[in-house]
Amino acid sequence: MRTMTRRAMRGVGLLCAAALSLTACGSSDGDAGSSDKTVSGGDLRAALKEGGSITVWAWEPTLKQVVSDFEKEYPKVKVKLVNAGTGNDQYTALQNAVQAGSGVPDVAQVEYYAVGQFALGKSLEDLSRYGAGEFKADYSPGPWNAVAVDDAVYALPMDSGPMALFYNKKVLDKHQIAVPTTWDEYLEAARALHAADPKAYIANDTGDAGFTTSMIWQAGGTPFKNRDTDVTVDLTADKGVLAYTKVWQKLIDEKLLAPVTNWSDEWYKGLADGTIATLATGAWMPANFVSGVESASGDWRAAALPQWEKGGEVSSENGGSALAVMKDGKSKDLAYAFNEYANHSDGVQARLKGGAFPATTADLSSPSFLDTTFPYFGGQKANEIFARSASQVPEDWSYLPFQVYANSIFNDSVGKAYVSDTTLADGLKEWQKASVAYGNDQGFNVNK
Amino acid sequence: MTAVTPITTGRRPPAGGSRGRRVRRGRRGQVGWVFVGPFMAVFALVFLAPIIYSLYLSFFRDQLVGGTSFVGLDNFQRAFEDEQFWAAVGRVALFLVVQVPVMLGLALLVALALDSGRIYGKSFFRIAVFLPYAVPAVVATLMWGFIYGTRFGLVGNFNDAFGVSLPDPLSPSLVLASIGNIVTWEFIGYNMLIFYSALRVVPKSLYEAAEIDGAGQWRIITAVKIPAIRGALVIATIFSVIGSFQLFNEPSILQKLAPNAITTYFTPNFYTYTLSFSGRQQNYAATVSLVMGVVTMIIAYAVQLRGMRKEA
Amino acid sequence: MSAPSFTAEQTPRRTTHRAPAPRRGSRARRSPDKPRRSVLLTVLMGVTALYALMPLAWLVINATKTQKGLFGSFGLWFSGDFALWDNISQTLTYDDGIFVRWFLNTLLYVVAGAGGATFLAVLGGYGLAKFDFTGKRAVFAVVIGAVAVPATALAVPTFLMFSKMGLTNTPWAVIIPSLISPFGLYLMWVFAAEAVPTELLEAARMDGSGELRTFFRVALPLLGPGIVTVLLFTMVQTWNNYFLPLIMIKNPDWYPLTLGLNAWNEQASTAGGQPVFNLVITGSLLTIVPLVIAFLLLQRYWQSGLAAGSVKG
- Per-residue pLDDT reduced to its tens digit, C102-153: 999 999 999 999 999 999 999 998 888 888 888 888 887 888 777 777 666 6
Residues 232-261 of B with CB under 8 A from C: 235, 238-239, 242, 245-246, 248-249
Determine the Cα–Cα distance for residues C257 and A87; give it in Å rounded to an integer.
Answer: 21
Of the spans A67-71, B187-191, B235-239, C32-36, which averages the highest pLDDT?
A67-71
| Residue B25 scores a pLDDT above 50 | no
Residue A64 lies in a domain: yes
Determine the Cα–Cα distance for residues A135 and A166; give it in Å rounded to an integer.
Answer: 32
Whether residues A300 and A433 share a domain: the answer is yes
Q: Which chains touch B (3 or more CB pairs under 8 A)?
A: A, C
pLDDT digits (tens, 9 = 90+) for B85-141: 999 999 999 999 999 999 999 999 999 998 888 888 888 888 889 889 888 888 898
Tens-digit pLDDT profile for chain A (448 aa)? Answer: 333 333 333 333 333 333 333 333 333 333 343 456 788 888 888 888 888 999 999 988 889 999 999 999 999 999 999 888 888 888 888 888 887 777 899 999 999 988 888 887 788 999 999 989 899 889 988 788 888 876 789 999 999 999 999 999 999 999 999 999 999 999 999 999 999 999 999 999 999 999 999 999 999 999 998 877 889 999 999 999 999 999 999 999 999 999 888 988 889 889 999 999 999 999 989 988 988 888 899 999 999 999 999 999 999 999 889 999 999 988 899 999 999 999 998 999 999 888 889 999 999 999 989 999 999 999 999 999 999 999 898 888 888 888 889 999 999 999 999 999 999 999 999 999 999 999 999 889 999 8
Whether residues A143 and A46 share a domain: the answer is yes
Whether residues A296 and A251 share a domain: the answer is yes
Residue A37, exposed/middle/buried by CB under 10 A (0-12, 13-18, 19+)? Answer: exposed
Query: Chain B partners of A258 at a C-beta cutoff of 8 Å?
Result: 151
Query: Chain A partners of B261 at a C-beta cutoff of 8 Å?
Result: 419
| Residue B8 scores a pLDDT above 50 | no
Query: Chain A partners of B257 at a C-beta cutoff of 8 Å?
Result: 261, 264
pLDDT (0 to 100) of residue B152: 67
Contacts of C287 (CB under 8 A, 6+ apart): B136, B139, C106, C257, C258, C261
Query: Chain C partners of A82 at a C-beta cutoff of 8 Å?
Result: 250-252
Q: Which is more confidently placed, C294 or C6?
A: C294
Domain range for residue A31?
12-159+320-364
In angstroms, what separates the C-alpha of C179 from chain A's closest C-alpha?
A: 24
Query: What secondary structure letter does DSSP report for C37?
Result: P
Query: Chain B partners of C28 at a C-beta cutoff of 8 Å?
Result: 208, 211-212
- Rg of the Cα trace of chain A? 22
Whether residues A147 and A167 share a domain: the answer is no
Residue A377 lies in a domain: no
pLDDT (0 to 100) of residue A324: 95
Whether residues A118 and A246 share a domain: the answer is no
Whether residues A101 and A135 share a domain: the answer is yes
pLDDT (0 to 100) of residue B248: 87
- Domain covering C84-312 in this structure, CATH number: 1.10.3720.10
Query: What secondary structure letter does DSSP report for C219?
Result: I
Q: Do A412 and B263 touch (CB under 8 A)?
A: yes
Whether residues A252 and A348 share a domain: the answer is no
For chain A, the domain total comes to 2
Residue A374 lies in a domain: no
pLDDT, average across residues B241-245: 86
Q: For testing the chain A interface, which of C270, C279, C281, C284 should be mutated: the one with the most A CBs within 10 Å?
A: C270
Of the spans A277-291, C54-68, C256-270, which averages the highest pLDDT?
A277-291
Query: Strands (DSSP E) along chain C, which ranges?
Result: none
* CATH number reported for the structural domain that contains residue A155 in this entry: 3.40.190.10
B264: nearest CB among A229, A412, A441: A412
What is the percent of chain B with per-residue pLDDT over 90, rounded to a whole number? 24
Q: Do B265 and A412 touch (CB under 8 A)?
A: yes
Query: Chain B partners of C129 at a C-beta cutoff of 8 Å?
Result: 6, 14-16
Q: Reading across the β-sheet that carries A52-57, which strands appear in turn? A: A77-82, A52-57, A107-111, A321-325, A156-157
pLDDT (0 to 100) of residue B92: 93
Whether residues A243 and A309 share a domain: the answer is yes
Kindly indicate the confidence band of residue C32, based on its pLDDT and cuts at 50, 70 and 90: very low
The answer to whether the beta carbons of residues C114 and C237 sit under 8 Å apart is yes
A vs C: CB pairs below 8 A: 104
pLDDT (0 to 100) of residue A26: 34
Whether residues A212 and A128 share a domain: the answer is no
* DSSP result, A209-252: HHHHHHHHHHTT---EEEETTEEEE-SSS-HHHHHHHHHHHHHH
Task: Give alpha helix (H) positions in chain B.
Answer: 31-43, 49-57, 74-81, 83-116, 122-130, 137-148, 154-162, 175-200, 204-212, 217-220, 226-228, 230-245, 249-254, 268-273, 282-311
* DSSP result, C69-122: HHHHS-TTS--SS--HHHHHHHHHHHHHHHHHHHHHHHHHHIIIIIHHHHHHHH
A287: nearest CB among C160, C251, C271: C271
pLDDT (0 to 100) of residue B290: 87
Kindly indicate the confidence band of residue C272, based on its pLDDT and cuts at 50, 70 and 90: low
Locate the domains of chain C by residue range: 2-57, 84-312
Kindly indicate the confidence band of residue B28, based on its pLDDT and cuts at 50, 70 and 90: low
Query: Chain A partners of C67 at a C-beta cutoff of 8 Å?
Result: 294
User: How is domain B76-311 classified at the CATH fold level?
Assistant: MetI-like fold (1.10.3720)
In angstroms, what separates the C-alpha of C162 from chain A's closest C-alpha?
A: 9
Partner B contacted by A88 (CB < 8 A): yes
pLDDT (0 to 100) of residue C25: 38
A352: phi then psi, degrees, rounded to nearest 5: -65, -40
Whether residues A296 and A188 share a domain: the answer is yes
Least confident piece of the model among B138-147, B242-251, C272-281: C272-281
Partner B contacted by A420 (CB < 8 A): yes
pLDDT digits (tens, 9 = 90+) for C231-245: 888 888 888 788 888
Average pLDDT in chain B: 81
